[in-house]
Structure 1
Amino acid sequence: MDKGKLYLIPNTLGDTNPFDVLPSQVKTIIDSLDTFIVENSKAARKFIKSISPEKSQPSLTLFELNKHTQPEDLPNFIKPCLEGKTIGLLSDAGCPGVADPGADIVKLAHQKNIKVIPLVGPSSILLAMMASGMNGQSFAFNGYLPIDKHERKSEIKRLERLSKDYNQSQSFIETPYRNNKLLEDLCNTLSSDCLICVACDITLDSEYIKTQTVLQWKKNSVDLHKRPTLFIIHKA
């Protein structure tokens, strides 16, 4: 029996018309599938309905993959592929497998010799880098910084040193309600001439992307409270 495939299906980055940011191929693939691995069933059903309103919701089979999922559950999620069924891996936002729990499923698919097919869609990491004006030849995504204020300060200084020593842009994110505090910490910790890019609400009507020095940020700040934001720093 031929194995099914695993499609990596991108999502929007927020409340926007999916057809403004996703190619038509995404709809074609979603129309053809009835089994998905998702982070949240309710959000996934809403997204699938927005893409394919004619699709029967009761006919969908959804496996939830999130922080509550146990490692021993993963083989069951991928089992349909081994039985010849093609399925989709869907992120809550952006591209699955990148800063996303879907990476574990993709790894397992490769181990089982299941063909993995990524679809084109918005990635906040790449879009922010594109718009930052910083070094796109060498950059790193560091996820979340430590919450403890002393550990966070040390990590910010470490990333600044890495950026300077290797000419490498350093990006990271924060829980949206702590964005303003992170920008404040960056301004209080980094050198005054270090560049900070703030990329907020990417692809949304409220999109805000700005790169300037720490000194300039101290004079011209922005309210980032509860707005999805990616931060990038670069020290020349």
Structure 2
Amino acid sequence: MNKGRLYLIPVPLGQTPAAAVLPAPVRACAQRLRNFVAENAKSARAFLKSLPSDWPLQEIEIHELNDHTAASELPRLLAPLLAGRDLGLISEAGCPAVADPGAALVALAHREAIQVIPLVGPSSILLALMGSGLGGQCFTFHGYLPSATQEREKRLRELEKQSRQEQSTQIFIETPYRNRQMLESLFRTCAPNTRICVATDLTLDSEQIRTRPVAEWQRQPLPEISRRPTVFLLQG
């Protein structure tokens, strides 16, 4: 029996309509599939309903894969593929398997010689880098930094040093309700000439991408980004 194909299906960031950020072939692929693995089943169904899917939602099978999923559960998520049916992998927002638990399923699919097909769509990390004006030839994404102030600022000093040594852009995110604390740490810790980009609400109508040296940021009120999805970038 031929194996199915694993499609990596991006979804919009926030409430942006799918047609505004996803090419027609990507939407058509998601519409025709009946089997999915998603970080959150509820939001995945909302996405499929917005397309809308070619199938009644009650006939679509969605299994969850998130940070609480044990490694021992991954093989059963591949069952549709091993039975010859195509499967879609959906993240909570943006591109699956990028800063996302779906990467574990993709790795297992490769071990099972299953064809993996990534589809085009929005990635907040790459969109922030593209819009920042910072170096795009060499960059590193670090995910979340420590939440405690002292540890966070120690890590920021390390990233700034790394950026100078490697001539690289350092990219990271924060839980939205701690965005203000991240800004305060950045402007308190980094050198005056270090450039900081704050990219907020990417692809939404309220999108803002601002890049300035720390010295210039310090002369202005902190931007209002509390509880708004934001990507931070620095280059020393």
- Which category of TM-score, normalised to the shorter sequence, fits these structures? over 0.9
Task: Give the residue type in structure 1 aligned to 2:160.
Answer: E
CA contact (8 A) 1:196 1:214 kept: yes
Q: Which runs of 4+ in 1 moved over 6 A?
A: none
Q: 1:214 aligns to what?
A: 214
Task: Give the residue type in structure 2 aligned to 1:116.
Answer: V
Q: Give the 3-state SS of the residue equivalent to 2:78 in structure 1.
A: helix
Q: Distance in 2 between matches of 1:178 and 1:152?
A: 12
Q: Distance in 2 between matches of 1:82 and 1:63?
A: 15
Task: Give the residue type in structure 2 aligned to 1:47.
Answer: F
Q: 2:229 aligns to what?
A: 228
CA contact (8 A) 2:34 2:60 kept: yes
Q: Give the 3-state SS of the residue equivalent to 1:55 in structure 2.
A: coil
Offset at 1:55? 2.7
Question: Aligned ranges for residues 182-193 of structure 1 at < 5 Å?
Answer: 182-193=182-193
Q: CA RMSD in A?
A: 0.9
Question: Aligned ranges for residues 3-18 of structure 1 at < 5 Å?
Answer: 3-18=3-18
Q: Distance in 2 between matches of 1:63 and 1:109?
A: 16
Offset at 1:54? 4.8
Q: 2:79 aligns to what?
A: 79
Greater shift after overlay, 3-12 or 48-57?
Answer: 48-57
Unmatched runs of 5 consecutive residues or more in structure 2: none
CA contact (8 A) 2:89 2:96 kept: yes
TM (norm. structure 1) is 0.98
Question: Aligned ranges for residues 97-112 of structure 1 at < 5 Å?
Answer: 97-112=97-112
TM (norm. structure 2) is 0.98
Task: Give the residue type in structure 2 aligned to 1:35.
Answer: N
Q: Distance in 2 between matches of 1:31 and 1:15?
A: 19
Q: 2:23 aligns to what?
A: 23
Q: Distance in 2 between matches of 1:179 and 1:149?
A: 12
Offset at 1:218? 1.3
Fraction of identical pairs, as percent: 48
Offset at 1:53? 4.9
Question: Aligned ranges for residues 19-168 of structure 1 at < 5 Å?
Answer: 19-168=19-168
CA contact (8 A) 1:49 1:55 kept: no
